[in-house]
């Protein structure tokens, strides 16, 4: 048994300690989020005890957003600071090159809205989104829900484009670090509409490049949030019947 775990021990002690810890933590955190932090867990285990604003559907969505923020955002940030002893700016949590980031966002924004408009006409997307089906009940409710969605996207981007991609950059190189986070983020979409999963592959590569070029998660965070919110808005207010 000792000989079986020896390679792992050596990795944890040597120069590869950081990437080894990242690759060990990543599946644990994603699995914990998917099974304990998402809406099905809330409905199965927590709904009988906790309902916010009198609506279980809204509470389930907010629970998912908060869980993603904590498990995929805060926990990796704690690992970066407490275990690696590194500043978060090395993982894209900074303004970075604002001019380049703004240009990238302005180029991506119309493409993302157009993609949302196309997806909003498709039954699989309309069945999946919004995560809270009552989000379009009023403009105030939709605005609050959309703001809360930012916490979900913050956690997602810190984890995939920050913790995974930036954390593996030194040991694997830029290209492979981007491909590793693209692989992980694609697999994390399993269960979503097929078009979204294929889109996650393209987005993983493009957004990974933007993060490295801008040295920041900001443009990608806003782009991802725009994609989700515009899809929800078009489904809620686009006038098409729900399936």
Q: What is the pLDDT of residues 53-103, one digit of tens each?
A: 999 999 999 999 999 999 999 999 999 999 999 999 999 999 999 999 999
Does 50 map to a domain?
yes
Does 218 map to a domain?
yes
Number of domains into which the chain is organized: 1
Does 242 map to a domain?
no
Tens digits of per-residue pLDDT, 121-153? Answer: 999 999 999 999 999 999 999 999 999 999 999
Does 202 map to a domain?
yes
Q: Does the pLDDT of residue 10 top 60, yes or no?
A: no
Band (pLDDT 50/70/90 cuts) for residue 20 is: very high
State the pLDDT at residue 16.
Answer: 80
How confident is the prediction for the chain on average, in pLDDT?
A: 93
Tens digits of per-residue pLDDT, 232-242? Answer: 999 999 866 55
Q: Tokens representing 131? A: 């995560």
Does 233 map to a domain?
yes
Does 76 map to a domain?
yes
Q: Does the pLDDT of residue 231 top 70, yes or no?
A: yes
Q: For residues 49 and 64, give the distance between their C-alpha atoms in angstroms, rounded to a whole number.
A: 16
Owning domain of residue 68: 2-237
Mean pLDDT of the 101-108 span = 97
Share of the chain above pLDDT 90, in %: 91
Does 243 map to a domain?
no
Does 49 map to a domain?
yes
State the pLDDT at residue 2.
Answer: 53
């Amino acid at each position: 048994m000792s000989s079986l775990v020896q390679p792992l021990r050596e990795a944890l002690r040597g120069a590869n300690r950081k990437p080894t810890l990242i690759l060990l933590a990543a599946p644990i955190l994603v699995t914990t989020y998917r099974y304990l932090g998402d809406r099905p867990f809330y409905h199965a285990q927590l709904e009988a005890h906790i309902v916010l604003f009198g609506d279980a559907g809204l509470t389930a969505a907010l629970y998912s957003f908060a869980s993603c923020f904590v498990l995929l955002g805060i926990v990796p940030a704690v690992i970066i600071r407490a275990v690696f002893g590194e500043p978060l700016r090395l993982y894209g949590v900074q303004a970075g090159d604002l001019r380049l980031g703004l240009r990238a966002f302005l180029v991506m924004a119309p493409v993302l809205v157009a993609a949302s408009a196309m997806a909003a006409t498709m039954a699989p997307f309309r069945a999946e989104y919004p995560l809270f089906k009552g989000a379009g009940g009023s403009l105030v409710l939709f605005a609050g829900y959309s703001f809360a969605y930012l916490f979900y996207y913050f956690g997602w981007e810190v984890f995939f484009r920050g913790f995974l991609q930036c954390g593996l950059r030194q040991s694997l190189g830029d290209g492979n670090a981007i491909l590793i986070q693209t692989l992980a983020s694609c697999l994390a979409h399993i269960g979503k509409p097929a078009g979204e999963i294929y889109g996650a592959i393209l987005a993983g590569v493009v957004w990974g490049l933007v993060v490295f070029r801008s040295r920041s998660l900001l443009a990608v965070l806003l782009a991802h949030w725009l994609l989700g919110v515009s899809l929800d808005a078009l489904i809620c207010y686009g006038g098409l019947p729900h399936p």
